[in-house]
Amino acid sequence: MGRGEGYGKTILIGDQFVLKGVPAIVSALSYKTVARVERLEGRGGWILEDNRVEVPGYKKSKEKQQVESINRILKVMGIDPEKQGLKIVLEGDLLAGSGVGASAASCVALARALNDEFKLNLPIEKINEIAWEGEFAYHGTPSGVDNTASCYGGLMLFQLKEGERIVERIKVREPINIVLGNSGVSANTAVLDSLVEKQREKDPKLFEDRMEEITRQALQVKNALLEYDLELAGKVMTENHKILVDMGLSHEKLIHLCDLALKNGAYGAKLTGGGMGGFMIAIVPDRKTQEKIAGLMEEEGYYTIKATIG
């Protein structure tokens, strides 16, 4: 039986615009998806047992994309399930929901499990490429940021520039406490990408001005993290969320969760992931504040993740 893992991720800034050349600050989470693959004798095709804990309705909403994603991964790896039947099991402690790289984590985990089962001895760079191929089913044209964080782990700046992927590791003095709050709304990334493109076509000058401002903000967050100025990093993230709200990429529940975090001691808060659902992220000063904010969200019925990054 082959086994593989893929980390969840959170993006501090630059989420929606990586394909436009904007840098994103992304971090893997310690929460992960685990895939197990075993061969089935006497039958062809593949079957899936998805045991991941989910935001209600998430797995159903992604069912067609998931089938396409698995088929793409099998094809690019040269594995024909009609010749060798397969059972795929997905599990782990990463919530299946929008905004934490759930699809990327499953793609990375599956690629690693197949690599393990079929003894392909693929390097990590190839695993990342295969996972990126699987992401096309979910995102239309994926930037590669989610699968890169899921595959390699750590805190990094990720940017697409002139067709090249730029990945810069960000080393911080000590781990940073964050709270992720889930809106309970599952977003369609392909629809979000279409919305962004329509805004670019409607007012190119305004759109480019926003891209320049978000680029400046992302680099400011990177430098603030390197200097361990978490108050500045949080302030810029909050300012960034205002732009996303103006662009219609947030959601009333995400706005509420961000406001709740800010009123209770967070340095900064914004949506994370594509937007219009999924998670928000708050940078907090310490574990006590982390517990307080997460507790208040949970009292209102929201799912939270308490984690450290860096």
Using CA atoms, how far apart are residues 250 and 277, in angstroms rounded to an integer? 7
As a whole number of angstroms, the distance between CA 181 and CA 306 comes to 9
Which of the listed residues 169, 201, 232 is the one where a domain comes to its end? 169
- Domain holding 193, by residue range, is 176-309
Cα–Cα distance, 37 to 271 (Å, whole number) = 34
Last residue of a domain, one of 126, 145, 169: 169
Where does 196-259 show beta strands of DSSP type E? none
Burial of 174 (0-12, 13-18, 19+ CB in 10 A): exposed
- If asked whether residues 268 and 223 sit together in one domain, one would say yes
d(CA 63, CA 56): 13
We report the CATH number of the domain holding residue 276 as 3.30.70.890
- Residue-wise pLDDT for 289-307, tens only, equals 999 999 999 999 999 999 9
Q: What span, in angstroms and rounded, lies between the C-alpha atoms of 166 and 160? A: 6
CA 166 to chain centroid, in Å, comes to: 18
pLDDT the model gives residue 189: 66
pLDDT at residue number 184: 87
CA pair distance 180, 182, nearest whole angstrom: 7
Which pLDDT value is given to residue 217? Answer: 98
The token pair that represents 104 in the structure block? 């990327």
Task: Give the domain-ending residue among 117, 144, 169.
Answer: 169
C-alpha 57/C-alpha 133 separation (Å) is 25
CA gap 188, 6 in Å, rounded: 21
Taking 50 as the pLDDT cut, the residues of the chain under it are none
Tokens of 213: 């401002």
User: Which pLDDT does position 80 carry in this prediction?
Assistant: 96
Q: How far apart are CA 284 and CA 238, in angstroms?
A: 13
Q: Residue 78 contacts by C-beta under 8 Å, 6 or more apart in sequence?
A: none
Do both 10 and 134 map to the same domain?
yes
> What is the side-by-side order of every strand in the sheet holding 268-272?
268-272, 279-284, 176-182, 304-309
Q: Please check whether residues 37 and 73 belong to one and the same domain.
A: yes
Residue 228's H or E segment, with its range, is none
211 shares a domain with 155: no
Q: What is the rounded distance in angstroms from the CA atom of residue 247 to the CA atom of residue 250?
A: 8
Q: For residue 103, give the amino acid letter.
A: S
DSSP annotation string for 13-64: E-GGGGGGT--EEEEEEEEEEEEEEEEETT--SEEEEE---BSTTHHHHTHH
* Residue 66's CATH number: 3.30.230.10
Q: Which pLDDT value is given to residue 150?
A: 96
The reported pLDDT for the residue numbered 190 is: 66
